[in-house]
Structure 1
Amino acid sequence: MINAQGKNLVFLLCVPRSGSSLATVMLQNHSKIFATQEMWFLMSLLDLKHNQHRPYGGMGIINQFFNGIVPDEVFQKAARSFSLQVYNGLLQSSEAEIVVDKSPRYYYLLEFIDSLFPQSKRIWLIRNPLSILSSYKKVESLTNSRFSIENDLLNPQFNIKMTDLTVGFFRYYHYFSSNHPLAYRLQYEKLVSNPVEEMRKVCKFLEITYEEDLEKYGEKMHSSKSDLFYSMGVGDPFLAKHSEPHRDSIDSWKDILSKKEVEMYCQVLGARIFHELGYSDVLEEAEKWTGVKFDAEPDMELIRFRTEQLNDASGHKWENQYEMKVHELHNQMFEEEITSKNDNYQLIQLQTTLSSLEIRLENSYIEQKRLRSKLEKHEELRGKINRLKSIVPFGNRISSWASEYLVHRGRE
């Protein structure tokens, strides 16, 4: 079972098109692992706190409730409780012991993962960036979806796929930048070249015994676990065409991508990330082919722009260059429980009161701005009247005579 700290919970993290479906279909062959296609539900939980369109309305009310009335601590406990019910429910249905949540766009909520399940294990599936790009292009052409790195990479219009290829890549890069006992780097190229050895290493990291033929997923394609995996209908559409890992896609970027596409994407990512992730040879080939010597640093202006786009669209904010961490406060709370329920209750009351006062203060400030703007308009109108009076000869006296005449006529 998964406990409140996240023990026996594993997150398989990477940007889309990195080979996560292949890694997952092999992992789910293990008798102690429940792994299926993308779950994504943690993103929906986090988004409860942020403004988003709802057909029944009430955006302002919901925002005020989650961000003004419900303290962060209570929200996190509720989110953790719901997640545990889901994860442990999956374990009960499969008789497994470990859940692997493979959701590539979880770069959206890395801070949330750390706060909810600080003792969960996290695997970063790394792949050659140009292979990721070529896989995008290949799959999108298969599904007749619009995908153009030349038109969209630098286009200011929001595009989640361009966000994946830029913001998502660097979010994971920074998140896994330090060695961490609960983190493991799995390289796609090594996985497909020597799957047995790599799966043994992954099993060791997960503290389970390797089981023979995990990598031969085609032989177990009709088991109940595999049926569930393929029934999701997402992930790599080419996965079922093979029965075990193969090396065919390692260098396919050379045939799928154009020289212009390679040049544009390498300029955005910069050379440093290729070297640090072990793809210096790929960068060398790209530079030789394009005839361009790429700068070491990425296009930070574009990365920041794409980040702000997603933050504005979602209402969510991130820590800059956030690194994986275990929150000591949560560990202490989990180990000691709550020493004084009364003190905790009073703290929550104070937090709620403070949030309510902040909302009132904010609303008061907004009302002050509205009244000030209205007053300024009145002052502006009064100034125009006075200027008009000064222009008309005897304006004040004429106004007085007119007033007396109207009053006198009214009496008659």
Structure 2
Amino acid sequence: MQALLSNNRDTNTCSESWILLNYANQIKPSLIHSTFDNNLAKDAFEEYLNKHNDFNFLEHQKKFLLDLYQPLGKGYRYVIDKTPRYWEILPEIRELFPKSKIIVIKRNPIEVARSIFKTWNVEQMQALTAYKRDLLFGPGRITEFEKNNKDNSRNYFLRYEDLLNNTESVVRNLYYWMDVTFTSDILKINNNVKYKGKFGDPYLNSNKDYQKIKAESRILELSKLQMEFLDGYANFLGPEFLMEYGEYKYDMGTAKKTLAFSHFIHLNNNQFENYNFKERMKAVIKEKIFRLLNK
């Protein structure tokens, strides 16, 4: 999507920059786990701001962040900042930049996990914990944001699968929404280097033929451990949520509690100390119980 939307004269972008996450301590302090006491630092800073009510910190923060995008914006109408983990701060981005256009791409969470296994060669549950919040909390946060912002015309929600299956139609509609002229040449992204860099899709960043590499990746078979994880993950999400999220289905005959997923759940929970991990898991369990009682 990033390659397609930047493949024109009006739009510029770069490899995933994580710009806003670098300033998450001012945008959403609860995300930061530090060697010093970040909660105390947050309280101290808020006390300072409260003593100077005439100083609009939000406006200064917004100006600073917009200045960071200036090098990308020279000569362009739009700048695209694409970073998957912006799901962590979706409401904050909307508050900071109310005039921005936000595109949220949803993908079947089961296929996201499968893609992580294949793309990043993740073979063990310990290595998968690097994506723990993305898998456990990401889909729910995106759903919550969509429910709260579905009437905002500056938000655009779409499914990754629709982009793959109806590329021209989806991209044409997005260009119309952006008020940028669409031509069929936009679909030819081979010569677009704006988005390439250290971060992002390794297939697209490669100089090899993209379609050939993707085809080869689909052939790779998952291990028994990985398949057990997917079954446990599907059971964790539940059929109701998958259907609500994007009308996704999974063979719920195989979806069940598995040792692989249970092991994953209990790994590296210390990483979630500042994220109220236990409270969030309680909320997830309560929601699942509510769904069961209201079938």
TM-score computed with the length of structure 1 as normaliser: 0.54
Aligned counterpart, 1:207: 179
In structure 2, the CA distance between the partners of 1:306 and 1:215, relative to structure 1 (3 Å rule), is farther
Q: Could you tell me whether the CA contact under 8 Å between 2:139 and 2:245 is conserved in 1?
A: no
Contact 1:215 1:245 in 2 (8 A): no
The residue number in structure 1 matching 2:114 is 134
Which residues of structure 1 form unaligned runs of 5+? 1-22, 154-158, 322-412
In the superposition, relative to structure 1, how do residues 97 and 268 fare at CA in structure 2: closer, same or farther (>3 Å)? Answer: same
Unmatched tracts of structure 2, length 5 or more: 285-295
Q: Which residue of 1 aligns with 2:156?
A: 184
Match of 2:95 among 99, 115, 123: 115
Report the CA distance between 1:87 and its aligned residue: 2.1
- Do the aligned partners of residues 247 and 308 (structure 1) sit closer, same or farther apart at CA in structure 2, a change above 3 Å counting? closer
* Cα distance, 1:171 vs structure 2: 0.7
Distance 2:9 2:240 in 1: 40
Q: How does 1:201-350 map to 2 (within 5 A)?
A: 201-218=173-190, 220-221=191-192, 226=193, 228-230=194-196, 232-239=197-204, 240=206, 241-242=208-209, 248=215, 252=218, 255-256=221-222, 258=224, 259-280=227-248, 282-283=249-250, 286-288=251-253, 290=254, 292=255, 309=272, 311-312=274-275
How many residues are matched? 261
Which residue is equivalent to 1:66?
A: 45
Contact 2:235 2:256 in 1 (8 A): no
One-letter amino acid matched to 1:229: Y
Q: Which amino acid aligns with 2:2?
A: T
Q: 1:306 to 1:74 in 2, by over 3 A?
A: farther
Distance 1:78 1:100 in 2: 22
- Quote the Cα distance in structure 2 between the aligned partners of 1:139 and 1:206: 31
- Cα distance per residue 1:292-329 (max 9 Å; x no partner): 479xxxx9xx7xx9799264489xx9xx99xxxxxxxx
Aligned amino acid, residue 148 of structure 1? Q
1:204, CA displacement in angstroms?
Answer: 1.5
Write the distance in 1 (CA, Å) between the matches of 2:242 and 2:269: 21
Larger radius of gyration: 1
Aligned-CA RMSD value: 3.8
Match of 1:91 in 2: 73
TM-score, normalised with respect to structure 2: 0.73
Runs of 4+ in 1 over 6 A off after TM superposition: 57-61, 244-247, 305-308
Aligned twin of 1:170: 140
Whole-Å Cα distance in 2 between the matches of residues 76 and 174 of structure 1? 24
In the alignment, is residue 40 of structure 1 matched against residue 22 of structure 2?
no
1:81 Cα offset (Å): 0.7
User: Displacement of 1:65 after TM fit?
Assistant: 4.8
Over 3 Å counting, the alpha-carbon distance change for 1:244 and 1:29 in structure 2 is farther
Q: CA deviation at 1:270?
A: 1.3
Cα distance 1:182–1:60, how it changes in 2: closer, same or farther (>3 A)? closer
Matched, 1:79 2:61: yes
